[in-house]
Amino acid sequence: MGSSLSCCSSEKVDQGYSGTAGGGNHPWRIFTYKELHAATNGFSEDNKLGEGGFGSVFWGKTTDGLQIAVKKLKAMNSKAEMEFAVEVEVLGRVRHKNLLGLRGYCVGTDQRLIVYDYMPNLSLLSHLHGQFAPDVHLDWKRRMKIVLGSAEGLLYLHHEVTPHIIHRDIKASNVLLDSDFEPLVADFGFAKLIPEGVSHMTTRVKGTLGYLAPEYAMWGKVSESCDVYSFGILLLEVVTGRKPIEKLPGGVKRTITEWAEPLILKGRFRDLADPKLRGNFDENQLKMTINVAALCVQNEPEKRPNMKEVVGLLKGQDRPTMMGTRMESIKYKDELMVMDQNSDNDDDDQDGIDDDNDESRHHDDSGAYGVFGAMEAPKMRDPYKRFGNARGINAKLT
């Protein structure tokens, strides 16, 4: 898009085009702090939409009547600056109806803000487990539209944009919903641009426990198939209405794959469907979706389908190669589980619905990114030499 951060470039370009809701070509531009301050009523608590690892998000309205969501960086340090730069850089490269594009940004001496279009139905998380969950806006048809649209957004990132982009933080709070419940994948602050010819890279592990592929959590090995794994977890979450990690009454935490595996093995597909659907779902589509999820969450990344195949399967154009669905479950090591904060809010909440807004309180204020802070990737080992499967995976924290 020819973007440049105004702080560090002499050739400043202060507007451009990016994909936004509905896939239209809307211009982005540089906002002044004063403008955003006025639009959000001084970043007041009343305007706050939620809080994430990056900072807080505020609803606002510009003088020309545009509704915006302003993400305000919470702390200025090099890590946060890097995320800001990555997000703006990546956002500028993407243009797809299922990816939340850039509306603008603001760079001041001690502020970094990103401006997006406001998504009136907030995030998928708010509908599955947050403040909208009791209203059950997500019927089966909408759920299928959300998973297919999100898959198409990811397909674009992995296969259509150059260089290819790995999102690295696919999860329910990063899928936003417009007024028609069309999904828009958001948050590219963790994204990795993959140079041509590179199949995978080793990085520090960031992201959200519960969605992390085993080879990524253990060895920091990142490739497109890490996103495929996270997408598989998202599929399960949308269909079952369960969280990726749940805290059981005794305090033990269980992953969604551990919960689903025995039900799938017994062919009890109907029992996997979200009870909030009250039986109103297409059973064939349910089986197909669970099947695709099972393919995506296989422990060995080479066995997972790519996003082109996932989209083909979800559209019913292709048939899964796997005969008889089996799901490989993973159990994260205790050291990782204690760092998970999403499920800590569960307590004895068995219906999976939180009593108040889940979105505003699942991050601590320690400046951690995602659910846990960046972890050094342990030294690379051949994942499959010592561990036949990834049960009880263990990522060393440093």
Ligand X SMILES: Nc1ncnc2c1ncn2[C@@H]1O[C@H](COP(=O)(O)OP(=O)(O)OP(=O)(O)O)[C@@H](O)[C@H]1O
Q: Which residues are catalytic?
A: 169
Q: Which stretch binds Mg ion (CB under 5 A): 40-48, 172-180, 220-228, 383-391?
A: 172-180
For residue 126, state whether it binds ligand X (rule: CB under 6 A).
Answer: yes
Binder to ligand X among 106, 114, 122, 166 (CB under 6 A)? 122
Does the footprint of ligand X cover residue 173 (CB under 6 A)?
yes
The option from ligand X, Mg ion, none interacting with 126 (CB < 5 to 8 A, set by class) reads ligand X
* Pick from 80, 107, 109: nearest CA to 3: 107
Token representation of residue 3: 């973007």
Question: Minimum distance between the CB of residue 172 and ligand X, rounded to whole angstroms?
Answer: 8
- Contact between 337 and 253 (Cβ < 8 Å): yes
Q: Helix or strand or coil: residue 385? A: helix
Size of residue set near Mg ion by CB under 5 A: 4
Quote the Cα angle for 118-120-123, to 5°: 90
User: CB of residue 208 vs ligand X: minimum separation in angstroms?
Assistant: 6
Residues of this chain, 326-365, that bind ligand X according to CB under 6 A: 359
Identify residue 25 by its one-letter amino acid code. N
Q: Using the rule CB under 6 A, which residue among 152, 187, 261, 274 binds ligand X?
A: 187
What is the Cα–Cα distance from 137 to 373, expressed in whole angstroms? 33
Q: Does the footprint of ligand X cover residue 39 (CB under 6 A)?
A: no
Nearest CA to 160 out of 98, 115, 250 is that of 98
SS3 117: strand
Q: Does the footprint of Mg ion cover residue 187 (CB under 5 A)?
A: yes
Q: Does 52 bind Mg ion (CB under 5 A)?
A: yes
* DSSP SS3 for 8: coil
Per CB under 6 A, 47 contacts ligand X: no
Structural Rg of the chain based on CA atoms: 20
Q: Which is nearer to ligand X, 125 or 146 (CB)?
A: 125
Angstrom CA distances, 317 to 192, 314, 320, stand at 30, 8, 10
Residue 174, interface with Mg ion (CB under 5 A)?
yes
Minimum distance from residue 50 beta carbon to Mg ion (Å): 8
- Tell the smallest beta-carbon distance from residue 42 to Mg ion (Å): 23
Neighbours of 343 (CB within 10 A): 22
Residue 394's CB: how many other CB atoms inside 10 A?
15
Residue 290 CB, nearest approach to Mg ion (Å): 26
Residues at the site binding Mg ion, with contacts judged by CB under 5 A: 52, 173-174, 187
Residues at the site binding ligand X, with contacts judged by CB under 6 A: 49-54, 57, 69, 71, 116, 118-119, 122-123, 125-126, 169, 173-174, 176, 186-187, 359, 370
